[in-house]
Amino acid sequence: ESASIPAGITGVGVEMFQRPWTSIGTECGSTLGPAGFSWVLTSPPQEHITGTQWWTSYQPVSYTVDSKLGTEQQFADMVKACRAAGVKVIADAVINHMTAQGAGTGFAGTAFTKYAYPGLYGPKDFHHCTLTPDGSIQDYTSRAQVQTCELVGLADLDTASAHVRTTIAGYLTHLLGLGVAGFRIDAAKHMAAEDVAAIVAMLPKGTPVISEVIRGAEEPIQPEEYTRIGQVFEFAYARELGPQLTAGVLMDPARADHVPSASAVVFVDNHDTERGDAAVTYRDGPLDLMADALMLADDYGTPVVYSGYAFSDPDAGPPQDASGHVTGWECAGATGPKASYADGEGVCAEAWKSIAGMIEWRDAAGAAERRPGVSKGAAYGFERTGRAVIAANPGSSPATLAVPTTLPAGTYCDVIADGPSMDGCAGGATVRVSDGAATFDLDAGQTAAIHLGATG
């Protein structure tokens, strides 16, 4: 089967949740490009319902690229700035549904009712599910409910319809014309895989798509159904890694029930799971950084770092002006996780020097094999053969760990402490390799990482 895995997005990505286009455009040049990110996942760009909550983005009113995150011109300018910085833009495509509201006027002024959107869709273009009393999905073990009833009351497009498919493909083609490289397919589980495949087949061959199909135990619809279309987010990855960190017991990955590496986009948390069951989020400071570092050090999947804003109300949107436009923030001054954040404050993970250090580490590791790890107490580490070594201590007391390595003896720079490109270890944090082992002295909660390209 592996020969039939479609080409996907590669390199390290970052989800810039609810960030305005101007803010992402600036950061592509100032932060993302220099740090070595290959792609950025944006929030949905289409017109949406009004309201202050972040999730208005997920209720499309039209496919006009005019939203609280910016205008079409601003979107196009962002894509241009990012491409110039070597960063591809992946847009979040909300194509399973429209709104849940009975009637209203969208952010860009389009009047709509729940099953009628001017110039796009009328009542016949939607499923009108009678399998449940209110037409909403109640039972995820029922394929028919999941794919023909309404996700949390959102008008569910009939993606088997030729008109619906063509209309969606028209929207995605428009975004490609604005320069985007590919798409996250929101709520892909709620569309039959053949429908998603038919829509994607109307796009240029090789367009990267990442389907959001949350792996659920006992559910009939699994991510494997969608891997012939493109990549999928592998939710099992964070569910395995995160709890190890909070338990303070790191081990080699088992990866039972994971899609093949080439199909997997992996993450520590995302905008849903940081509000849901993610074990590790920005609130966990050093452990969050540790999780990102271990993910970036891994040889499985395409990693996407998550960067959102702090919140205590899970519905609360990012800071907005009186017109409802998100005001955004830039992260040039952020160097690492903070002990605490004010509500609405940007977490700025994309600017942490340790993340940039780990992207450099990952490039140095290349295709080198991940060797089995070693542990001592809570400390755990592993080598990417002959290229790079990482060690992490999720425990509550300091630990010294010797990780066997074939790296040449010498003094190496810790790219977690000091960031990338510290030739000569100008930052001062070093790790010694001698007698076939890298010896790490780790404080509680500390991660350290060395690679062949940064030596003292």
Residue 187 Rama label (left phi>0; alpha psi -120 to 50; beta): left
**Where do contacts with ligand AAO occur on this chain (CB under 6 A)?**
55, 58-59, 94, 100, 140, 151-154, 186-187, 189, 212, 214, 216-217, 219, 271-272, 276-277
Say how far apart CA 247 and CA 270 lie, in whole Å: 21
Give whichever of 56 and 447 is closer to ligand AAO, judged by the CB atom: 56
Q: How far is the CB of 187 from ligand AAO (least distance, A)?
A: 4
Q: Which two tokens stand for residue 44?
A: 């949905």
Q: How far is the CB of 439 from ligand AAO (least distance, A)?
A: 38
Which residues sit opposite 392 in a β-bridge? 380, 447
Number of Cβ within a 10 Å radius of residue 3: 4
Give whichever of 65 and 191 is closer to ligand AAO, judged by the CB atom: 191
State which residue has the least CB distance to ligand AAO. Answer: 216
Of 189, 303, 284, give the one whose Cα is nearest residue 238.
303
**Active-site entry in 66, 125, 156, 186:** 186
Q: Is 350 a catalytic residue?
A: no
- 229: CB partners within 8 A, 6+ apart: 6, 193, 196, 197, 200, 209, 211
Say how far apart CA 102 and CA 431 lie, in whole Å: 62
Q: How far is the CB of 95 from ligand AAO (least distance, A)?
A: 10
The helix (run of H) or strand (run of E) holding residue 14 is strand 13-16
- Asked whether 132 and 226 are in contact (CB, 8 A), the reply is no
Q: How far is the CB of 301 from ligand AAO (least distance, A)?
A: 18
Give whichever of 191 and 442 is closer to ligand AAO, judged by the CB atom: 191
Give whichever of 9 and 28 is closer to ligand AAO, judged by the CB atom: 9
Give whichever of 217 and 342 is closer to ligand AAO, judged by the CB atom: 217
The 3-state secondary structure of 316-362 reads CCCCECCCCCECCCCCCCCCCCCCCCCCCCECCHHHCHHHHHHHHHH
> What distance lies between CA 313 and its chain's CA centroid?
21
Q: Which two tokens stand for residue 384?
A: 């990417």
Give whichever of 184 and 353 is closer to ligand AAO, judged by the CB atom: 184
Q: Is 66 a catalytic residue?
A: no
Of 19, 36, 39, give the one whose Cα is nearest residue 184.
39
- Helix, strand or coil, per DSSP, at residue 378: coil
Give whichever of 243 and 424 is closer to ligand AAO, judged by the CB atom: 243
**Active-site entry in 47, 195, 212, 225:** 212
DSSP label of 111: E
- Helix, strand or coil, per DSSP, at residue 209: strand
Distances (CA, A) of 214 to 111, 223, 297: 32, 7, 24
CA 210, 265, 37 angle in degrees (round to 5)?
A: 100
Give whichever of 58 and 75 is closer to ligand AAO, judged by the CB atom: 58
DSSP alpha helix (H) spans, 123-234: 143-148, 162-177, 193-201
Query: Where in the sequence numbering do the catalytic residues fall?
Result: 186, 212
